[in-house]
Structures are given as structure tokens and as C-alpha cells.
Chain A
Amino acid sequence: KNEVEQSPQNLTAQEGEFITINCSYSVGISALHWLQQHPGGGIVSLFMLSSGKKKHGRLIATINIQEKHSSLHITASHPRDSAVYICAVSKGGSEKLVFGKGTKLTVNP
């Protein structure tokens, strides 16, 4: 069983829509990361959080430690948001990141 599960696997939206991507994990963590991977392959760190909520521009990330669940929201989505969004966790006592399979987001104009 994967330690980090994301849903949905694929998501298609119209420009302007509100997007939610979910991440559940089954292990104790010290932090959860949301990352963005563009078609060229490079990975960009969006958020690192261990509790509560963080906001950066149109992106919002939340985490519920008790429920072992995090969400990434994109408000007013735009075609340039099209990418793979990856959830990854730092397991307690370890520095390595354990990755989910990613959610491929396509935003159509």
C-alpha cells in the first residue's frame, strides 16, 4: 500500500474554476510538501506545512494532522496552472521525502 495517496489522478477544469487536490498519508510525518512538476520535468516546491493552512497567491494548502489529510486549492484557475501536482511527506525521524503519484491538472481556456 502506498504511504501517500493522491486524488484525483487526473483533473480537467475550465479556466476560472476552483480546484481541489487531495492527499492522504498513512505514516507519522514531520512535514508535508506540495510540489509542482511541469511538462519539462522540473520540480518546484510550492508549500511545506506541518499544521494549519498556508496561502501564496491563488494557491492555498491545508493540513489536518489528526485525519492525516491535506488539500491543495487553486482559486481562479488558469491554463498556466496546468502541471502535475505532487504531495510528498517527510516521515518522522527521516529526512527523505516519500512521494505520491501526482495529480495531472489540465486547465482549458
Chain B
Amino acid sequence: DIQMTQSPSSLSASVGDRVTITCRASQSISSYLNWYQQKQGKAPDLLIYAASSLQSGVPSRFSGSGSGTDFTLTISSLQPEDFATYYCQQSYSHPLTFGGGTKVEIK
């Protein structure tokens, strides 16, 4: 199985801050990397697919980059509605696997 490791596991930030979350794969996965946002008690929502493609309807302050084993999700200016947990997920091979999550909290 491909292991996905996210860092940090949690962070505190203020509204307006630039936030960066990292995801590392245990082997190369090309651009087969997706990002999701999950708010408390809700199902995850797709933010980014194929490492850097913004899902329709997702604000442009979200962006993704990377390929191979190292990937980044960036929120350019954190908004109140962005406080949530973020997960990366690889679709390079089965079984599909997720990172452990990064919880973004209010500072």
C-alpha cells in the first residue's frame, strides 16, 4: 500500500494568513493526488484533483502543487469558513489511501 503522510497534523492560524499543508507519498505517484476539506460532522468535499486542478466552485485562494512524492496545499488568505480538517488522497494504485489529516484551527 502507498502510505500518505501529512504535516503538520494540526496548525493554528489567523484569518488572512497564508497556510501551507504538505503531503508526502511513500513512493512516486506522479500527479495522482487529491485534496479534500472536511468540516466537523460533515462529509469531505473535494478541493483539488490531479495535484493542481481546482474543483469547480472552489475559491481560488486554494491551490495545489507538486508531483512525484511531495505535494502542497496552499490557502493564500485564510477565511473563517476554511477552519476544517484537510486530507490528501492518492489514486495512483489500489488500495486508495488517505493522509492522516491536518486540522486547521483558529489562532
Bind each other: no
Measuring CB to CB, which residues of chain A are less than 8 angstroms from any residue of chain B?
none
